[in-house]
């Protein structure tokens, strides 16, 4: 049975792309809730409800036997509820990121950036602190619109990156977790400005968690992307991240069952 992957929108395609290249024979279905993005400024209750609706769509239509929550905001609030209702393994992006950062940091000072909701949840902070890490976290709400406008490099992008991150780098972090699935698209630019910082993002860390949760990886390698609304930014990022994958629009009313 296939893997289901969902995100509030298109950022999760960074995770989808990584999974598609790592698990070539596995069927993977992606749902981007583009009609209701962003989740990052919504309440906990709304994030959980939307996440349940996305997950239920994938489970009921494709009988997925593993769910990947390719959204840090949803991973911060909804994983336990999803596990309870879906009765299949659910892998969020927070634990893989924490595990990688704990393994990489030498000075035990780790920065975390994400949406307002992800940082407010303190999921990263709490898990890192359990591992005796000093955490320097910060919401970076301008990153998502910047990426969705295709501004992945250039002067404005660099200024915004510096405005958010100088403070964390000045505090002495040696590792930075990109706690939002859009942010890997800024990774090269961030690394250019701070070449000495180790950058951890969900795309490189999640594979191991899939391997320990899914038994049958040999399927027919089918892939399909579903979105709840069309938008120019979806087209732009889909061209970059998943150019040859078929896309279907699904009416929000088919997902909003709760």
By annotation, the residues acting in catalysis are 71, 180
For the residues of 142-159, what is the DSSP string, one character each? Answer: THHHHHHTT--SSHHHHH
Query: By CB under 6 A, is residue 38 in contact with ligand DGL?
Result: yes
Q: Could you tell me the sign of the dihedral formed by the alpha carbons of 214, 219, 220, 226, in that order?
A: negative
Query: By CB under 6 A, is residue 178 in contact with ligand DGL?
Result: no
Shortest Å, Cβ 38 to ligand DGL:
3
**Residue 22: other Cβ atoms inside 10 A:** 16
29, 30, 39, 50: which one contacts ligand DGL (CB under 6 A)? Answer: 39
Shortest Å, Cβ 68 to ligand DGL:
12
Q: With respect to ligand DGL, which residue has the nearer C-beta, 57 or 195? A: 57
Torsion of Cα atoms, 104 then 75 then 138 then 153, to 10° = 80
Q: With respect to ligand DGL, which residue has the nearer C-beta, 2 or 40? A: 40
Region binding ligand DGL by CB under 6 A among candidate stretches 17-25, 66-74, 222-230, 232-240: 66-74
**Residue 124: other Cβ atoms inside 10 A:** 28
Query: By CB under 6 A, is residue 182 in contact with ligand DGL?
Result: yes
Q: CA 163 to CA 185: how far, in whole Å?
A: 18
User: Which x/- pattern over 116-155 shows residues binding ligand DGL (rule: CB under 6 A)?
Assistant: --x-------------------------x-----------
Q: What share of the chain is helix, strand, coil (3-state, %, to 5)?
A: 50, 15, 35
Shortest Å, Cβ 62 to ligand DGL:
21
Tokens 């596990």 locate to 83
Query: By CB under 6 A, is residue 50 in contact with ligand DGL?
Result: no
Shortest Å, Cβ 229 to ligand DGL:
13
Q: CA 165 to CA 153: how far, in whole Å?
A: 15
Q: How many residues bind ligand DGL (CB under 6 A)?
A: 19
Hey, what are 11's tokens? 């950022």
């Amino acid at each position: 049975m296939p893997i289901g992957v969902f995100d509030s929108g298109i950022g999760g395609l960074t995770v989808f792309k990584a999974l598609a290249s790592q698990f070539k024979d596995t069927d993977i279905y992606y749902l981007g809730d583009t009609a209701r993005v962003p989740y990052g400024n919504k309440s906990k209750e709304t994030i959980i409800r939307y996440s349940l609706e996305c997950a239920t769509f994938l489970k009921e239509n494709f009988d997925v036997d593993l769910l990947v929550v390719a959204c840090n905001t949803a991973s911060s609030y909804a994983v336990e509820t999803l596990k309870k209702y879906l009765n299949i393994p659910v892998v969020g992006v927070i634990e893989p990121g924490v595990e990688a950062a704990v393994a990489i940091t030498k000075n035990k000072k780790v920065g975390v950036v994400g949406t307002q909701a992800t940082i407010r949840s303190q999921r990263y902070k709490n898990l890192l602190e359990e591992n005796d890490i000093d955490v320097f976290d910060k919401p970076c709400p301008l990153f998502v619109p910047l990426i969705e406008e295709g501004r992945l490099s250039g002067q404005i992008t660099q200024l915004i990156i510096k405005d958010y991150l100088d403070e964390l780098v000045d505090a002495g972090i040696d590792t930075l977790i990109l706690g939002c699935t859009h942010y890997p698209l800024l990774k090269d630019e961030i690394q250019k400005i701070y070449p000495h910082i180790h950058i951890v993002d969900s795309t490189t860390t999640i594979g191991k968690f899939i391997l320990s949760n899914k038994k049958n990886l040999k399927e027919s390698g089918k892939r399909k992307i579903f979105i709840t609304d069309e938008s120019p930014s979806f087209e732009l990022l889909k061209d970059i991240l998943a150019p040859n994958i078929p896309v279907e629009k699904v009416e929000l009313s088919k997902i909003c069952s709760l």
